[in-house]
Amino acid sequence: MRTARRASNVEVPSFLRHLVKETEKMVTFFFKGGPRETGPDEEDSLDEDDSMPSPYLDRPILEKHVSEGGSQLGVNYAMASMQGWRAQMEDSHTCMPQLGGELSEWGYFAVFDGHAGTTVAQYCSRNLLEHILATGGVKANEDPEQVKEGIRKGFLDIDRHMQKLTRQDNWDHSGSTAAAVMTSPRHIYFINCGDSRTLLCHKGQVVFYTEDHKPFNPREKERIQNAGGSVTLQRVNGSLAVSRALGDFDFKEVDWRPQTEQLVSPEPEVYELQRTPEDEFLILACDGVWDAIGNEELCAFVRSRLQVCDDLREICTQVIDLCLYKGSLDNMSIIIVCFPGAPRVSQEALQQEAELEQQIDMKVEEMIQLMRSRDEDPDLLYVIKFLAAEEIAGLPPGGGITSKRDCIISSYQKHIMTVRSQEPMNIEGSDEDSN
């Protein structure tokens, strides 16, 4: 039984037009030096004068790609990705809830956030696990230190292999971050190279999250400077916004330096935590998600949605939509991995959600009636801004009123249709009265 409102079933053309207009102003302000106030002809001339093509679209691509699955061990997952405002979709991912052979009780999940192209991200999504397993460090009879070393070697091996392919096959100059987890019967291994991120929710709290590798971090900055580079505008040599990544071989050209001492390092940080029955879920996501929402906020939001929705794919798409409407301009990909201890749908939570949506519906109706009484057009964007300023109890933690936009849209469309259907009747009635 599906127990949550599905965004894909809501028609929102007028809302999206308003949203695009507002967000386009924000994009223009940050990336073209100021708000766009010119006419269509002037806009065309401005675009022609741009020396570089914009990495952003005029309209976001909202189509989502989703998948789900699980293992015989009670682990379920779902993922969703969306291109959004970016001119190209450069994310990739891998979801393997159950490996084969002697590792049948192990799982592997990864998100790859590509930049300057898609080649490295896609290649790693298909081949990184193979390189890790080829080291021999990951065994059913696990030694955590050997597993971590095997993961580390696997990253260095695939990066070295891709560099050879780049020189032989004339690959593009792309790179990719990598955030992954490997799960065994006893441990969770957290793997991070770049600024994608993974976290674990345990008994309702974030108990672990990976640290982003940014050039301005003291340890990363020291390595960059030791390799003859600089950190300018918080970027490696003023160019790359991450200090560790797979690929990016333009930053790995000093042959006499080890891989881990280049301007950009392919070495991941790997941590292990012992699994417990209180572990609830893992979240893996690229920085397009984390740019818009914090660790604790996202943990709280996902946890609250698990109590009112039994469709993990829907929860993933809700997170992506939430981040889009919070202002994320990047590609977005997210994987949610639920353990047996994850929250389940509860009647109490469903009742509270129903009461919240009823309260929102009443406020929307009240706002529309008030605006009509003033001979004002009940604009949807204005209604949403009004509700954002209201104190409404029971909103999803971490999501707020932004996460209930589908409910607002549905209520708005219902009440605005009612108002408009009454208008001709009122006109006819007034004509009869005048006769």
In a domain, 198, yes or no: yes
pLDDT per residue, tens digit, the chain (435 aa), is 334 433 333 344 444 445 555 554 444 443 333 333 444 444 444 444 455 778 899 999 999 999 999 999 999 999 999 999 999 999 999 999 999 999 999 999 999 999 999 999 999 999 999 999 999 999 999 999 999 999 999 999 999 999 999 988 878 899 999 999 999 999 999 999 999 999 999 999 999 999 999 999 999 999 999 999 999 999 999 999 999 999 999 999 988 999 999 999 999 999 999 999 999 999 999 999 999 999 999 999 999 999 999 999 999 999 999 999 999 999 999 999 999 999 999 999 999 999 999 999 999 999 998 888 888 887 888 888 889 999 999 999 999 999 999 999 999 999 988 877 776 554 444 454 444
287 and 401 housed in the same domain: no
For strands 279-285 and 269-274, give the pairing: unpaired
In a domain, 427, yes or no: yes
In a domain, 38, yes or no: no
221 and 123 housed in the same domain: yes
Q: Residue 136: which CATH number? A: 3.60.40.10
CA pair distance 13, 8, nearest whole angstrom: 12
321 and 219 housed in the same domain: yes
CA pair distance 245, 233, nearest whole angstrom: 18
352 and 221 housed in the same domain: no
410 and 281 housed in the same domain: no
In a domain, 36, yes or no: no
353 and 325 housed in the same domain: no
- Token pair for residue 57? 């679209």
In a domain, 205, yes or no: yes
118 and 264 housed in the same domain: yes
* Of the residues 286, 310, 338, the one at which a domain ends: 338
157 and 106 housed in the same domain: yes
Contacts (Cβ under 8 Å, ≥6 apart) of 305: 4, 315, 318, 396
* Of the residues 303, 338, 373, the one at which a domain ends: 338
* Of the residues 309, 338, 367, the one at which a domain ends: 338
274 and 415 housed in the same domain: no
The closest of 311, 408, 313 to 357, measured between CA atoms, is 408
CA pair distance 384, 26, nearest whole angstrom: 18
314 and 405 housed in the same domain: no
In a domain, 1, yes or no: no
Domain membership of residue 420 as a residue range: 347-434
95 and 126 housed in the same domain: yes
Q: Residue 367: which CATH number? A: 1.10.10.430
Q: What is the pTM of this model?
A: 0.86
In a domain, 168, yes or no: yes
364 and 401 housed in the same domain: yes
Q: How many domains does the chain have?
A: 2
In a domain, 400, yes or no: yes
